[in-house]
Structure 1
Amino acid sequence: MQALHHQQFVQLHQAPHGVLLLPNAWDAASVKIFEASGAKAVATSSASLAWACGYADGGALPPDELLDAVARITRVLKVPLTVDMEDGYSQDPAEVGRLAAELVDVCAVGINLEDGSDAPALLADKIRAIRSALKGKPLFINARTDVYLRKLKVDGTPAQASIARLKLYQEAGADGAFVPGLTALPEVEEISAAITLPLNVMAMPGLPAIAALQAAGARRVSVGPSPFQVAYEHARTSVEALLKQDLSPLLGPKLDYSTMNKMLTFAR
């Protein structure tokens, strides 16, 4: 099943399939909701998953808890899952390689791996270490560069620096290119035209319409922690209302109990 899911996931990035619209989940319930809504694949958000496990985002989630959470998700999920593993939770490429191999063992078919503020050569080393640790097992490695998101000081324009990094990551064994913070269509076009990896952008204010992104060459749109933030903002404001003796937000439209229960009753 994992090999089939990996093949499906790769195909979803190819042009005849249009843009892969990838919701980011954080637990078994959220992935089942997104799957039932029609998602052809699901991603985790590192922030959302860390928060759901009781940790801050930014490398604080223990790898064992990540693996346990992913195992709970893949137990119920029938479509491909890709996991955001931040920077691999280590500066040691060998450790990152071992963790990626363990994620494959719990049925992840893809990962995101970011460069952050580190030297690009470190992420390239981590990607090579992952390929070595996998010993030929398939895994879609989506290499993320944070040039735009972190507004890094780089030589040349942000687009030129991103292209140079993404080409380095592809040489190391990456399958996809993720540029969060990229929103300008001319730069989407510039980057997608300069690389052969499928380009992933992230939903954020200022991002153009999906049809325009597809025309500019983007092949994947993910949404980061937004679904978690939307859901938990509603929960927060509903409970604030409750504490003011207003039950109405909790008694209004909501996910049907039997629908949610049935999703998990029939999960494998």
Structure 2
Amino acid sequence: MTAAKLRELHLPGRPLVLPNVWDADSARLVVAAGFPVVATSSAAVAESLGYADGQGAPVAEMFAAAARITRVVDVPVTVDAESGYGLAAAELAGRLREIGAVGCNLEDTEPGRGVRPVEEQAELLGAVREAAGDGLVINARVDVFLGAEDEKAVLDDAVERARKYLAAGADCVYPIHVRSAEVLRAFVAAVSPAAVNATLFPGGPQRAELAELGVARISLGAGLWRAGRVWLAERLADLG
């Protein structure tokens, strides 16, 4: 499946819903349920492999896991590539295309360093776009809301980052974990008509409200994996 097909599904107000997966079997279940795209969650993939999120897993294992997913589904697959694993842009784009991915997430937090300077992240995104051409849908994550006590206080920074990431070639921007509907509405309006990805999670706006706010893409992140893990732990406790 092509990147063009994935791009077409990013419709503000009619968001693409992505129940993020972690292995081939969960990917099959997502497709069987009728979802038109498979997306990975780096946290869920890494933890299922026995490593911590935040680029704690060897890059070869993360790409191998993604390759197993693309092998078993016939819908577009977008891969959470964290902050790029320190790979050169051409290598990152090439490895994603080699495993059959047509999209990727790239976050602006670098493990051990924090949020990258906006110009540096824009340069990375631009280099990935140049290397990939139109063969990858780039979802640029904006991380300044993570842990922010006052989301309004970081809104201007988030908008500046989003605009520069879009100008560098990103197809979609992802202000991850925004809890305030008011702030998310302002963000969407500030970058319109660009596609915005939002997170569906307890305590934040839910699916119908996210659509009303004008987002084009909804991610569950590691939510399904965490829910499944809780269920399994409870069943094991019942057997103990």
TM-score, with length taken from structure 2: 0.91
2:108–2:142 Cα contact (<8 Å) kept: yes
SS, match of residue 88 in structure 2: helix
Asked if 1:147 corresponds to 2:140, the answer is no
Q: CA deviation at 1:198?
A: 0.6
- The structure 2 residue matched to 1:131, chosen from 129, 132, 144, is 129
Q: Determine the structure 1 residue equivalent to 2:27.
A: 31
Deviation string, structure 1 residues 59-110 (Cα, Å, up to 9, x no partner)? 11212112211111011112111111111111xxx62441232111111111
1:188–1:217 Cα contact (<8 Å) kept: no
Q: Which runs of 4+ in 1 moved over 6 A?
A: none
* Identity in percent: 35
SS, match of residue 218 in structure 1: coil
Q: Determine the structure 1 residue equivalent to 2:88.
A: 95
Amino acid at match of 2:129: R
SS, match of residue 122 in structure 2: helix
Q: Determine the structure 2 residue equivalent to 1:264.
A: none
Task: Give me the whole-angstrom Cα distance separating, in 2, the residues matched to 1:153 and 1:207.
Answer: 15
Asked if 1:10 corresponds to 2:3, the answer is no
1:146–1:152 Cα contact (<8 Å) kept: no
- The structure 1 residue matched to 2:200, chosen from 189, 203, 226, is 203
Task: Give me the whole-angstrom Cα distance separating, in 2, the residues matched to 1:32 and 1:65.
Answer: 20
Task: Give me the whole-angstrom Cα distance separating, in 1, the residues matched to 2:165 and 2:150.
Answer: 19
Task: Give me the whole-angstrom Cα distance separating, in 1, the residues matched to 2:155 and 2:94.
Answer: 32
Q: Decide whether aligned partners of structure 1 residues 49 and 146 sit closer, same or farther in structure 2, where only a CA change above 3 A counts.
A: same
Q: Determine the structure 2 residue equivalent to 1:83.
A: 79
Q: CA RMSD in A?
A: 1.9
- The structure 2 residue matched to 1:212, chosen from 204, 209, 216, is 209
Task: Give me the whole-angstrom Cα distance separating, in 1, the residues matched to 2:101 and 2:147.
Answer: 27
Aligned length: 234
1:110–1:141 Cα contact (<8 Å) kept: yes
Amino acid at match of 2:180: A
Amino acid at match of 1:147: V
Q: Determine the structure 2 residue equivalent to 1:248.
A: none
Q: Determine the structure 2 residue equivalent to 1:187.
A: 183
Higher RCO (Cα < 8 Å, 6 or more apart): 2
Deviation string, structure 1 residues 176-232 (Cα, Å, up to 9, x no partner)? 010112122221221111113211111222222322221211111101111111111
Extract unaligned runs of 5+ from structure 2. Answer: 110-114
1:63–1:99 Cα contact (<8 Å) kept: no
Task: Give me the whole-angstrom Cα distance separating, in 1, the residues matched to 2:229 and 2:90.
Answer: 33
Q: Determine the structure 1 residue equivalent to 2:100.
A: 107
Larger gyration radius, structure 1 or structure 2: 1
1:97–1:126 Cα contact (<8 Å) kept: no
Q: Determine the structure 1 residue equivalent to 2:112.
A: none
Q: CA deviation at 1:137?
A: 4.7
- The structure 2 residue matched to 1:235, chosen from 232, 237, 240, is 232
Q: Determine the structure 2 residue equivalent to 1:262.
A: none
Extract unaligned runs of 5+ from structure 1. Answer: 244-268
Asked if 1:52 corresponds to 2:48, the answer is yes
Q: CA deviation at 1:12?
A: 0.8
2:12–2:195 Cα contact (<8 Å) kept: no
Amino acid at match of 2:187: I
